Structure 1
Amino acid sequence: MRDLGIGSWPARRTKNGAHRPAIVFGDRVDTYADVERRTRQLANALRAAGVGRGDRVAYVGFNHPALLETFFATAQLGAVWVIVNARLAPAEVEYILTDSGARAVVFGSEHAGHAAQLLHLESVETWVAVGGAAAGTAAAGAPGALDYEAFLAAGGTDVIDEPVTWDDPVMIMYTSGTTGRPKGATHTHGSLTFQYFQALIDTDFTRDEVMLAVAPLFHVAGLNTMTMPTFLKGGRIIVQPAFRPETVLATVAAERVTSIFAVPAMMDALAAHPDFPGTDLSSLRNVLVGGSPLPDRMLRTWADRGVAIQQGFGMTETAPGIFLLLAEDSFRKAGSAGRPHFWVEGKVVRPDGTEVAPGEIGEVVAQGPNVMQGYWNLPDATAAAVVDGWYHTGDLATVDDDGYVWIKDRLKDMFISGGENVYPAEVENALLDVPGVAEAAVIGVPHPRWGEVGHAYVVLAEGADVTPGSIVAALAGRLARYKIPQDVVVVDRLPRTATGKLQKHLIRTTYEGNAR
């Protein structure tokens, strides 16, 4: 094969174990031979629709086999897959499709409404609807979109063997930045493959792996920490479109699930479910949690059921692995982000780039073959984030005497709500577009269920006739629900420096007691 990239994986996997189950979705079971055939047909269909080397193909939707098929098929063509957060509002999706220049868009049934609003985009030539979003050849609610299964079936079966190398770009995943505008972290076949290699090295994957893909696959951790490594190893991936605790627990017991990735809110929900005490969890050997530290009480709850948990730390820009706290250290170093992955050089540095002493706070930086190629069409942002080969995370941390890293704060003010990254600047920009809002500041505050939620503080324009409730309502449809502040407080002024920069530490100390 000339194709050394991820698109060649389905064909390579059929060399050994073609008839082994690869992807399970409800009652549907696709073998590795099925996945190879379907992705080859889809690649041919996309090529017939005009998609070629370097073109972008976007996927907008929740967990579904078509998400993985689209990834493989796009990669086969030497094209670039744009995976879009399915929770984004139509305006946010429009920005990503426009910025990436997506030529084709595959979308799930839940996003027919999004597609109907975005069919005017001139850059998108082909819209394809998955899983009930289409009737016949026209998608319900999105006229002009094609039915996924019909589109795939008409694609032909020619073997595609593009000369793809590890240096070629394969995926763009958007992550909001401090400017409030999403940035497309661009990964190559090589940067992703090295992420999968280190997952196989640092985690106990085997050929008989049964991986439950219930965390969103449109997130870098849901896709890259366990799902793709399981495919590479030749295991079975059970795809579920939504997280329902009772379904997850029943599946773990019935299918003898061996591995799962989850965010802390999911682990909390599983442990709180009445079925948890009686569920057979003995098959679980790889349980990886990321997004935010898992409370010690939760570690003990799962340990009491015989399940040890690994905690990971990473970024979209690093595909994501930087640090990993192994299960054997989960109690001894509870709350730590762990130590660097196999292929990663991760360290905590002072502003001058020298490494901090134990206990001293500095910024986390990382270097390795899994670091992104750069931000899509943003050379200045790339140069600011990756300096001399080191990616600067913007997270503050300390290192203990044993070399374990402890995350302390975020330079970028990002907070995590229910496993989703929320960037205050993006929310503040949306608030400032609400008529009557003159100034806005958003901070993350602790929440018992979601980990953190947003609190907004706004200064109104003179004579403005708006209320906190009307401001929240104005954000609906503009921002994903998890980004919308749970509380909006009207204040007379916001503390700023002489240069006009918001002093968020003063906002916390001055206003948080007034949050309703």
Structure 2
Amino acid sequence: MDPLSLLDEACRIRKGPAVVCGRARLGYPGLRDLADRIGRDLEAQGARPGDRVAALFPNCHLYLAVYFAALLRRLVLVPLNVRLSPREMHAILDHSGARLLIGEPALAAPLLRRPAAAGEGWMAGPTGVSGAGAEAEAPTGAAHLYYTSGTTGAPKGVILTAANLRAHVDMTLRELEFRTADAWLHAAPMFHLADAWAVWTVTASGGTHVLLPRFDPAGALDLMDEAGVTITNLVPTMLRALLAEARRRGRAPRSLRLLLSGGAPIAPSLVARIGEGLGCGYAQTYGLTETSPFLTFSLLGEAQRLLPPEAKLRLLARTGRPARGVELRVVHPPGVESFEDVPADDRAVGEVVARGPTVTPGYWRDPEATRAAFLGGWFHTGDLGTVDAHGFLNLVDRLKDVILTGGETVYSTEVENALYEHPEVREAAVFGVPDDTWGESVRAAVVPERRGGISAGDLVAFCRARLAGYKCPHGVDFLDALPRTGSGKIDKKVLREPFWRGRSRQIN
């Protein structure tokens, strides 16, 4: 992807402000000039094509410019999660070999050996990184190096190329029908692909970037109205908070046309409330860092739009049908080189595998993990799902999250969906804990809508009316919030850890 031509085209088709961040307003020519200035400063510090440069910002117009600056100079950008500890950040700097870091001064200064350049709101300098990571050569065409959240082990560096980004731009422009009149709210973190993909697609459409440094529902709704936001992607916690705030105000955002979300199950009843409370369309999404990210959308085709309302809501709440240009299969057995497609009966469970131009070429400095992920020429997601007669995927679990209890298999998503049907459940996560009798037993962590509104016994009884007994939680923990990764996904590793501590393996 040629970022200069992307920005030049945006300058041609869009006049006036195209970037809104607090009091800052930029047109695309201003964004191009800012990106060029940052790129020259990085180059002056020794950055050369193929070098890794780490970035550490909250959502802001400077981060937008840094994404373009890196691509313009053929640098490999390494976005850092602002929530990581300094030790975790240093580990990523060492592994990626990022000799330079640019970021918000308060965030970047502790990681820099000596600040060497600064602008209004940013600071850049050498990290002091040396060794194997710094000496490694980036693959031809590499553009980004995203480190996974590591919910099942140490984070891995996912390589995305300019060709991956270009293919994803082309796909999302068509799937989501982006237009110059669209305004995208960067609400999810820009250090993660939950939002960063929109940097390129919105620019390619000539649309407006509206940046929200820190999410709060009241501020988000105000900004949506002020900036005329038409489309955004929210992680599940943000979505529920925004819906509650809109309900409190008694009105929907004025211009919102489409809301995207993913990373957790959603009940059809919640999809209906989104339409009523936010006055917009909704699409469930599914993807991974390794796939740029989107693999599916629960967008309805002509045939599905003719279905009864209840059937349409059920489809909208599913994981969705394959995005254009993506080859997607649900296969059995999982995790092997030779496999077959499961029947499209919405019952047979298999692993989701994918291939196509948006799929990563592999993991940075980890050929073993790359080989394991691409068995049989397909990328193995590690996610389990079913497929129905409409071709819609429905995820049931992570392969590593399946609960084996008394010889039976329990998919955590099925139990979570049952819990989400209860009106007093705001969020739920189901996971396996050691059990001397059954090997594992089912446990749930629940964020209630209000304190004291429901008991563990109530929820277990509620599940027993909907599920087989062995699938029902043996214990329920009530929490104020569920632990999450940088991308907003529930971190079940954190929930499991106290129960499995001291054991040599995470399964009995």
Using the size of structure 2 for normalisation, the TM-score is: 0.73
- Aligned in 2, Cα 1:391/1:490: closer, same or farther, shift over 3 Å? closer
Change (3 A) 1:405 1:108: same
Output one character per residue of 1:41-74: Cα deviation in whole Å (capped at 9) or x when no partner.
2111111111011001110121111112111111
Please state how far the C-alpha of 1:9 moved relative to its aligned partner: 2.4
Question: Which residue of the partner structure matches residue 364 of structure 1?
Answer: 352
Q: Does the alignment pair 1:192 with 2:192?
A: no
SS in 1 for 2:341: coil
Structure 1 residues 48 and 283: CA distance shift in structure 2, 3 A: same
Provide Cα deviations, 1:193-250, integer angstroms capped at 9, x if missing partner. Answer: 11111111111211111111111111112111x3431111001111010101001111
Aligned counterparts, 1:320-331, within 5 A: 320-326=293-299, 331=313
**What is residue 90 of structure 1 aligned with on the other side?**
86
Higher mean C-alpha displacement, 381-390 vs 78-87: 381-390
- How far apart are the structure 1 equivalents of 2:196 and 2:148? 15
Judge conservation of contact 2:92–2:147 (CA < 8 Å) in 1.
yes
Give the match for residue 350 of structure 1: 332
In structure 2, how many angstroms separate the alpha carbons of the residues matched to 1:492 and 1:205? 48
Matching residue of 1:447: 446
Among candidates 14, 25, 28, match of residue 11 of structure 2: 14
Match of 1:73 in 2: 69
Q: 2:269 aligns with which of 271, 289, 297?
A: 297
Amino acid paired to 2:177? D
Determine if the alignment matches structure 1 residue 264 to structure 2 residue 236.
yes
1:98/1:259 CA distance change after superposition, 3 Å: same
Query: 1:144-163 counterparts in 2 under 5 A?
Result: none
8 Å CA contact retained: 2:353, 2:381: yes
- CA contact under 8 A between 1:167 and 1:190: conserved in structure 2? no
Give the alignment partner of residue 59 of structure 1, picking from 55, 58, 68.
Answer: 55
Whether the aligned pair in 1 keeps the contact of 2:41 and 2:117 (CA below 8 Å) is no
Say which is worse superposed, 483-492 or 334-343, in terms of deviation. Answer: 483-492
Tell me if 1:238 matches 2:201. Answer: no
- For residues 8 and 59 of structure 1, do their structure 2 counterparts lie closer, same or farther at Cα, with a shift above 3 Å needed? farther
Q: Deviations over 1:298-343 (max 9, x none)?
A: 2121121332211100000001111110167660414311110001
d(CA) in 2 for partners of 1:293, 1:481: 11
String of CA shifts for 1:178-197, please: whole Å, max 9, x gaps.
76221110000010111111
Q: Is the 8 A contact 2:9 2:204 kept in 1?
A: no
Query: Which amino acid is the alignment partner of residue 96 of structure 1?
Result: I
What is residue 182 of structure 2 aligned with on the other side? 209
Partner of 1:391: 379
Query: Is the deviation greater in 364-373 or in 20-29?
Result: 20-29
CA distance in 2, matches of 1:108, 1:327: 41
- CA–CA separation in structure 2 for the residues paired with 1:243 and 1:58: 23
Q: Which moved more, 1:325-334 or 1:39-48?
A: 325-334
Q: What amino acid is aligned across from residue 400 of structure 2 in structure 1? A: K
Match of 2:112 in 1: 119
**Alpha-carbon deviation of 1:5?**
2.5
Distance across 2 between alignment mates of 1:276 and 1:307: 17
- Code of the residue aligned with 1:6 in structure 2: it is P
Q: Which moved more, 1:215-224 or 1:101-110?
A: 101-110
Within 1, Cα distance between the matches of 2:501 and 2:222?
A: 52
Instruction: Check the 8 A contact 1:253/1:279 in 2, yes or no.
Output: no
**Structure 2 residue identity aligned to 1:16:** I
Structure 1 residues 177 and 307: CA distance shift in structure 2, 3 A: same
Please tell me the residue identity of whatever aligns with 2:56. Answer: V
Aligned residue number for residue 24 of structure 2: 28
Q: Check whether the contact 1:184–1:375 (CA below 8 A) recurs between aligned residues.
A: yes
The answer to whether the Cα contact below 8 Å between 1:175 and 1:184 also exists between their aligned partners in 2 is yes
Letter in 2 for 1:343: G
C-alpha separation between the residues in 2 aligned to 1:93 and 1:339?
36
Name 1:404's counterpart in structure 2: 392
Task: Give 1:106's match in structure 2, choosing from 102, 109, 125.
Answer: 102
Matched residue type, 1:411 = L
Partner of residue 377 from structure 1, selected from 365, 388, 407 = 365
Correspondences of 1:405-420 after superposition (within 5 Å): 405-413=393-401
**Structure 1 residue 16 displacement after superposition:** 3.3
Q: CA, structure 1 residues 218+277, in 2 after alignment: closer, same or farther (shift >3 Å)?
A: same
Hey, what's the Cα distance between the residues in 2 that align with 1:281 and 1:126?
43
User: Using the alignment, how far apart are the partners of 1:32 and 1:96 within structure 2?
Assistant: 32
Distance in 2 between residues matched to 1:288 and 1:492, nearest whole Å:
37
The answer to whether the 8 Å contact 2:51/2:75 transfers is yes
TM-score by length of 1: 0.72
Give the Cα separation in 2 of the matches to 1:130 and 1:413.
Answer: 46
One-letter amino acid of the counterpart of residue 341, structure 1: A
| Secondary structure, aligned partner of 1:171 | strand
Is 1:502 equivalent to 2:472 in the alignment? no
**Structure 1 counterpart of 2:2:** 5
Residue 412 of structure 1, CA deviation: 3.2
Conserved 8 A contact 2:318-2:394? yes
Q: Deviations over 1:404-452 (max 9, x none)?
A: 1110110133999xxxxx9x9xxxxxxxxxxxxxxxx9x99443379xx
* Cα contact 1:167–1:189 (8 A) shared by 2: no
Q: Which amino acid aligns with 1:26?
A: G
Match of 2:255 among 283, 291, 304: 283
After superposition, the Cα gap between the structure-2 partners of 1:444 and 1:28, relative to the gap in structure 1 and judged at 3 Å, is farther
Paired residue for 1:180, among 131, 153, 162? 153
Cα distance in 2, alignment partners of residues 492 and 12 from structure 1? 55
Q: Is the 8 A contact 2:17 2:28 kept in 1?
A: yes
Alpha-carbon distance change, 388 to 53 in structure 1, aligned in 2, over 3 angstroms: farther
C-alpha contact 1:61 1:111 (8 A) present in aligned 2: yes
Task: Give the gaps of 5 or more residues in structure 2.
Answer: 128-138, 305-311, 403-411, 414-428, 432-439, 450-487
Provide the alpha-carbon RMSD of the alignment: 3.4
Q: Mean Cα displacement is larger for which, 327-336 or 45-54? A: 327-336
Distance 1:353 1:217 in 2: 36
Specify the alignment match of 1:163 in structure 2.
none
